[in-house]
Amino acid sequence: MTALTAENTIASYDQQLARLAQIVDLDSYPIHDLDHPITRELVARCREQLDDIGCSVIADFVRPDAQERMRQEAHRLMPCIFRSEQKHNPYMTKEDSELPQQHPNRFLQHRTAGFINTDIIPEDSDMLAMYDNDIMTRFIGECLGIWPIYTWADPLARCPYGVLEDGDYFPWHFDGNEFTVSVSVEQPAEGGTFEYAPNIRSVEDENIEGVNRVLSGDKEGVYELEWKPGYLQLFKGRYALHRVQEVRGPGAWITALPTYMTDPDTVNRPEHSKQFYGRALPIHFVRETNRPDTLTD
């Protein structure tokens, strides 16, 4: 057994930094040094945009060679993708037939999408190396202004590739979680544009009228994200109605979804895991009985 010494800790940090340098463009974005003027400016910009419109993008975050390795990895694993479909409303809740027909709760759209689950991604993956990296976690927390955050315990959902292929669509919705982090791996020839209507609702006001306007196709107040391979997005989707437009033709929309949590031990519910990731594991059932609350999800 090796004793834990300062030297070991430093070596471990150095190893993480060396691995991260193979993946992230640390010359343009020295995220390992939070006091670096470039990093300070970057963090300040992210926080400001997140406060303002709930969305911030760091262009060319992943180095081109690492982008290509991620793309090839996703394509190699494509035969093992779990595809699912569902009709859902923007709140991802059950339709309430007591509500008027015009209420967004009754606006159901068809989602078809796939996940390459985290447990089948090889250990030497660049994407996983970027995710399971303390320097990266610290930087993401800094940008979000939330600390501590942790990488997640869910073996399937912790850092999957989300995939939309020809004809797939991820309809308008609000996120249940506080924030998401995404990294673009591939963009299709046509479609796959991420659209969002920031601050369309708030804790005080669901703004049914405004939500209906966007659902009916009104583009006022709707932003289109510039989204290219290697870009990293931080997004607060609880108050922003958002969707990924239908993908058309060759190529796929492939996005890595490194998931950070403030409560890392609560995993997906077994039903949710089966629906989105194709199965539930013992950890999903065990932790279901130990949940801290009884909220819907």
Q: Which range in 59-67, 72-80, 232-240, 257-265 contacts Fe ion by CB under 5 A? A: 232-240
CB of 237 to Fe ion, least distance (A): 5
CB of 242 to Fe ion, least distance (A): 6
**Residue 237 interacts with Fe ion (CB under 5 A): yes or no:** yes
Whether the CB-CB separation of 131 and 125 falls below 8 Å is answered with no
Which CB sits closer to Fe ion, 62 or 241? Answer: 241
Whether the CB-CB separation of 258 and 149 falls below 8 Å is answered with no
Which CB sits closer to Fe ion, 29 or 260? Answer: 260
How far from each other are the two terminal CA atoms of the chain, in whole angstroms? Answer: 42
Which CB sits closer to Fe ion, 150 or 239? Answer: 239
Which three-class secondary structure state does DSSP give residue 3? coil
Number of shown-chain residues binding Fe ion (CB under 5 A): 2
CB of 163 to Fe ion, least distance (A): 15
Which residue matches tokens 């309430």?
96
Which class for 72: exposed (0-12), middle (13-18), buried (19 or more C-beta within 10 A)? exposed
Helix/strand/coil percentages in the chain, nearest 5: 30, 20, 45
What lies within 8 Å, CB to CB, of 70 at 6+ separation is: 62, 125, 126, 127, 183, 185, 256
CB of 165 to Fe ion, least distance (A): 18
Q: Which range in 56-64, 92-100, 234-242, 268-276 contacts Fe ion by CB under 5 A? A: 234-242
DSSP codes joined into one string, 21-35: HTTB-TTT--TT-TT
Long-range pairs for 50-53 at CB < 8 Å and ≥24 separation?
50/143, 50/144, 50/145, 50/234, 50/236, 52/198, 53/198, 53/199, 53/223, 53/240
Which CB sits closer to Fe ion, 237 or 258? Answer: 237
CB of 144 to Fe ion, least distance (A): 16
> And the tokens for 147?
């600390």
CB of 177 to Fe ion, least distance (A): 9
CB of 107 to Fe ion, least distance (A): 16
Which CB sits closer to Fe ion, 175 or 195? Answer: 175
Which CB sits closer to Fe ion, 175 or 288? Answer: 175
Which three-class secondary structure state does DSSP give residue 224? strand
Residue nearest to Fe ion (CB): 175
Which CB sits closer to Fe ion, 29 or 253? Answer: 253
Contact letters (x/-) for Fe ion, 150-189, by CB under 5 A?
A: -------------------------x--------------
Chain positions 27 to 46 lying near Fe ion, rule: CB under 5 A, are: none
> And the tokens for 196?
């969002």
Which CB sits closer to Fe ion, 119 or 175? Answer: 175
Which class for 224: exposed (0-12), middle (13-18), buried (19 or more C-beta within 10 A)? exposed
Chain positions 82 to 111 lying near Fe ion, rule: CB under 5 A, are: none
Contact letters (x/-) for Fe ion, 187-216, by CB under 5 A?
A: ------------------------------
Can you say whether the dihedral through the CA atoms of 222, 62, 113, 279 is positive or negative? Answer: negative
List contacts with Fe ion (CB under 5 A).
175, 237
